[in-house]
Amino acid sequence: MNFKFLAIYLFVLFTTILSLPVIADDGYRLWQRYDFVQDQAKRQAYLANLTGLVIEGNSPTLTVARQELVTGLAGLLGKPLRLTSLNTAGVLILGTPQNTSVIKNLNLAVKLTALGPEGFLILSAQVQGKKATVITANSDVGVLYGTFHFLKLLQTNQDITQLNISSAPKIQRRILNHWDNLDRTVERGYAGFSIWDWHKLPDYIDQRYIDYARANASIGINGTVLTNVNANALILTPQYLVKVKALADAFRPYGLKVYLTARFSAPVEMGGLKTADPLDAQVKTWWKNKAAEIYSYVPDFGGFLVKANSEGQPGPQNYGRSHADGANMLADAVAEKGGIVMWRAFVYDNKVPDDRAKQAYTEFKPLDGQFRKNVLVQVKNGPIDFQPREPFHPLFGAMPQTPLMMEFQITQEYLGQATNLVYQAPLYKETLDADTHVKGAGSTVAKVVDGSLHQYELTGMAGVANIGNDRNWTGHLFGQANWYCFGRLAWDHTLSSEKIADEWLRMTFTNEATFLNPINKMMRQSRETLVNYMTPLGLHHIMGYSHHYGPGPWIKDKQRADWTSVYYHKASPEGIGFDRTVTGSNALAQYAPGVQQQFGKPATCPEEFLLWFHHVKWDYKVKSGRSLWDELCQRYYRGAAEVGQMRQTWQAAQAYVDAERFNHVKMLLLIQEKEARWWRDACVLYFQTFAQRPIPAGLEKPSQTLDYYVKQDPKFVPGN
């Protein structure tokens, strides 16, 4: 037998198979698709520069870094990268100066010191007279982050011959908040049930847990809150802590810490105490003992996330105490082990006769400086509740002595849920780049959150997860891009929406420019498209009642005024919008003078927030020259039309996507177009009853009556 011929034949067969398009793909691999590099010239260049792997140290984290590299490069290059010595040119060297002597001899101490515990360097260097690529950091987890970044370079067809990459996170705690219940339902979850199978834990470690940790590590997420903020005290019992330990053990090599939600009334519900008063000595002791018990299971337990005195959740105000009293008691319980408390500022009371948008600021601003150093106050990006568009929360910049942690919602509770393609990086960037003016122009929300504006010692960013047990993780394939962009912006909030979309598209689909350019543009426009067909010009909170699916601007007469739509849009025969200036609720006064000056008058207020801050007459002339009524109609119709354009854009990309994923998105875009028309027609017809003006000429008339839309009542909306 001619073994040389056989070897050549098998190699050609193997590379041919790898180069064939994937027939079907269910999306499980997320953006970690290590498929064969199609560009032959680039692949040959990679092979020439990657001849072997040198890695010293066998910690669990370095072990998974090595596994990721071996698997990833074998798929990308069609050839395994073997462990080798330094005698060969083109080796890839991994490690820290502490565990790899050759890296220590490169004298990178100054560069590494600037990167902190999680940053990394990727360098092209001369090692013992031969060219090499070095991935190094101050810690093993930094090396792991660098490993994923290096693999991304190959996935996105970047040049690796002259590397000089330095990267460190701008935010310390980059955490997913799972709103998962112990019965595996997920509040506001649109991708199936919870991925945590509590019944099979701790003995059965699903591969999905490992892949979840890999995905998070690949974008720099370093923490996960396993359970719903509407907390269940059972998670703190030994029966569940042993299961939490199993997850923490699986996540630890990937730098992913576990956090838990704490139900404030747990000392009463499960501890047998008569009170949960945070100033009561017995209560303090109970929580300290409980924290010690948790740390006995999970030595690197991150701490607690708490929702208190909000939407019926128990809290310190039940006992006449402040949020600071409650947070500090829990903070003291975990401080010795380095734990933190993330205390949510999402509080509002239907009994308070004031604008709901003002209540968090009213409650928390007076407490500035009263929280322990290991407390973060977790603030939603806007003052209402994750709306398609909100101005930044007035608390950002208003508490210079208290670290404020950003809370974004990745799951699309108010953004069409899992049937709408909405890329959220533009939403996140809009908030992060907003100027608070608290220290003059340039005092952005991002500078508040990353600690640079007020010198916070503790920083954090949270994202409410959109993950479930659907095979593609997020329900809508493009929902993966929102998980991805959250992690990337938590690591580096200066990245552009376009850059992040480009990375995700290249890793998830293809590097072909004829695919990338139109789909990237579609993604970046998608959020504005949704705002247009749902809540244009600053409208907000006009969705269906309770399930928040579909339009419901007519919602009124519910148990809470601030759970209705009419509370927010205040449509009347005279006009529409919520007056939050001095002539109305004066919520605008909670912002710095520079913001007040810009938003205080309709003529200077950005039109995207016009009806958020002002009650405007129907005939008011907007910047387009149209009346407010005509502009409102035009926006609704434009949004619906743009979804049709999105469908056309996706259809044109069929040649670049496997059939399964192409059809998945195609069908959902059809649903989205129907929903956009539903929103358009229902809202225009409803607001027309107040405006008493015709729909502008040239726009098609709704095919149904307003009564038809009012009677729509979806019965099986997921996520409640």
Task: Report, as residue numbers or ranges, the catalytic residues.
Answer: 311, 385, 413
Distances from the Cα of 85 to the Cα of 67, 92, 125, angstroms: 18, 10, 16
**In the structure encoding, which two tokens stand for residue 94, read together?**
């991994």
**In the structure encoding, which two tokens stand for residue 320, read together?**
């006449």
Q: Are strands 257-261 and 303-306 parallel, antiparallel or unpaired?
A: parallel
Rounded to 5 degrees, φ, ψ at 131 are -70, 135
Distance between CA 164 and CA 300 in Å, rounded?
33
Q: Are strands 120-127 and 164-167 parallel, antiparallel or unpaired?
A: antiparallel
Identify the sign of the CA torsion 41, 42, 48, 53.
Answer: negative
The three-point CA angle 185-191-196 to 5° equals 50
Distance between CA 163 and CA 465 in Å, rounded?
34
Distance between CA 716 and CA 354 in Å, rounded?
34
Distance between CA 350 and CA 11 in Å, rounded?
70
189 close to 202: Cβ distance less than 8 angstroms: no
Helix (H/G/I), strand (E/B), else coil: 22: coil
Distance between CA 424 and CA 481 in Å, rounded?
8
- Please provide the DSSP assignment of 89-136 as one string: TTEEEEE-TTT-HHHHTT--HHHHHTTTTT-EEEEEEEETTEEEEEEE
Torsional class of 171: left (φ above 0), alpha (ψ -120 to 50), beta (otherwise): beta
425 close to 493: Cβ distance less than 8 angstroms: no
Instruction: Calculate helix-pair angle for 628-652, 659-691, nearest 10 degrees.
Output: 170
Distance between CA 286 and CA 276 in Å, rounded?
10
Amino acid (one-letter) located at 714? P
Give the rounded distance of the alpha carbon of 4 from its chain centre: 52
Please name which of 670, 398, 647, 679 lies closest in space to residue 531, comparing C-alpha atoms: 679
Distance between CA 633 and CA 699 in Å, rounded?
9
DSSP H helices in 384-458: 425-432, 445-449
Whether residue 202 has a cis bond before it, omega within 30° of 0: yes
Identify the sign of the CA torsion 547, 553, 555, 560.
Answer: positive
Q: What is the DSSP letter of 700?
A: P
Identify the residue whose tokens are 């069929």: 654
410 close to 417: Cβ distance less than 8 angstroms: no
CA quadruple 509, 514, 520, 526: dihedral, nearest 10: -100
Consecutive H or E run containing 539: none
Distance between CA 666 and CA 651 in Å, rounded?
7
Identify the residue whose tokens are 């010595």: 85
Distances from the Cα of 705 to the Cα of 529, 678, 701, 709, angstroms: 24, 11, 10, 7
- Please provide the DSSP assignment of 602-640 as one string: TTTS-GGGHHHH--EETT-B-TTSSBHHHHHHHHHHHHH
